[in-house]
């Protein structure tokens, strides 16, 4: 079905793997389109409670964007490239109602780090290296990197990473709060699956509402507290709320219908 990605589903978890190992899983236009399609399918699938995003092989999650595709672009084409990419993939993933865990299995550079940052949270293998090297090419991050990196690690650290075009390793990323856990290459997907399993036990409707409320913190002109109040109230009209509260009162495990 796809040329550049692989998808699989098991126990409520859809795994999307970027599969261009000869190009270190670099993001080209076709891969961005395919990722959009795969995320859309998974989000609409009632059986998918969590999405794990990773790269194939042991070297790279995504080593960046495919520079050969846009090296000769004009100003307008450059702006369109960023706008289209953000709309199709990066903002799309960040605002998905299904939680997305990025399992960073190697280099996550440029567009690769931007994609990992669009996920709801990140874990990484010990060999992972992360950075935004765009200024070394005479350009800046264009897929949300200048916005999401300071949100995640603070302005000063983000400025340093962007200005130096340098890479940080998994331990530094953990100290910065860019990733939640670091583990061996072998344990990366098992850890992602374990975390995903904990998420699948909870109400997918409530999780979707929580994603909306948390994301509202970072939207200009939006009152996050008001969004939380609305989403909180909406939960009261769901079958998941009725089941969750009933199960609690009856001292049994909830079996959420996801409605």
Per-residue pLDDT band for 205 (boundaries 50, 70, 90) equals: very high
Residue 186 known to be catalytic: no
- Contact status, residue 144 vs residue 86, Cβ threshold 8 Å: yes
The tens digit of pLDDT for each residue in 30-50 reads 999 999 999 999 999 999 999
Catalytic residue selected from 34, 87, 126, 134: 134
CB atoms under 10 Å from CB of 129, counted, come to: 21
Active site residue: 114, 228, 239, 243, which one? 114
250, HSE (Cβ side, Cα atoms, 13 Å): 10
User: What are the pLDDT digits (tens) for 119-164?
Assistant: 999 999 999 999 999 999 999 999 999 999 999 999 999 999 999 9
101's enclosing H/E stretch is: strand 100-104
Q: Is the pLDDT reported for residue 67 higher than 90?
A: no
Confidence of residue 168 (pLDDT cuts 50, 70, 90): very high
SS3 track for 155-189: HHHHHHHHHHCCEEEHHHHHHHCCCCEEECHHHHH
Residue 129: what are its φ and ψ, rounded to 5°?
-130, 135
Other beta carbons less than 10 A from residue 251's beta carbon: 6
Asked if 134 is an active-site residue, the reply is yes
- Mean pLDDT value across the chain: 96
Identify the pLDDT of residue 42.
Answer: 97
Distance CA 59, CA 62 (A): 9
pLDDT at 247 over 90: yes
pLDDT (tens digit, 9 = 90+) per residue, 150-159? 999 999 999 9
């Amino acid at each position: 079905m796809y040329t550049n990605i692989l998808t699989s589903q098991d126990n409520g978890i859809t795994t999307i793997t970027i599969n261009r190992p000869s190009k270190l899983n670099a993001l080209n236009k076709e891969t961005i389109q395919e990722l959009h399609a795969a995320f859309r399918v998974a989000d609409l699938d009632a059986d998918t409670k969590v999405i794990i995003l990773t790269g194939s092989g042991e070297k790279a999650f995504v080593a960046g964007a495919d520079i050969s595709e846009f090296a000769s672009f004009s100003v307008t084409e450059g702006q369109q490239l960023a706008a289209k990419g953000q709309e199709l993939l990066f903002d799309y993933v960040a605002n998905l109602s299904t939680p997305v865990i990025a399992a960073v299995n190697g280099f996550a550079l440029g567009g690769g780090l931007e994609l990992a940052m669009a996920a709801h949270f990140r874990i990484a293998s010990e060999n992972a290296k992360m950075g935004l090297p765009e200024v070394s090419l005479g350009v800046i991050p264009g897929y949300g990197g200048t916005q999401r990196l300071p949100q995640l690690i603070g302005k000063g650290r983000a400025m340093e990473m962007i200005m130096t075009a340098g890479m940080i390793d998994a331990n530094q990323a953990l100290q910065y709060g860019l990733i939640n856990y670091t583990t061996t290459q072998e344990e990366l997907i098992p850890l992602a699956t374990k975390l995903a399993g904990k998420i699948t036990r909870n109400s997918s409707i409530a999780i979707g509402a929580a994603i909306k409320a948390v994301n509202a913190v970072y939207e200009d002109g939006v009152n996050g507290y008001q969004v939380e109040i609305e989403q909180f109230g909406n939960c009261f009209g769901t079958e998941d709320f009725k089941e969750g509260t009933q199960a609690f009162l009856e001292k049994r495990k909830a079996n959420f219908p996801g409605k």
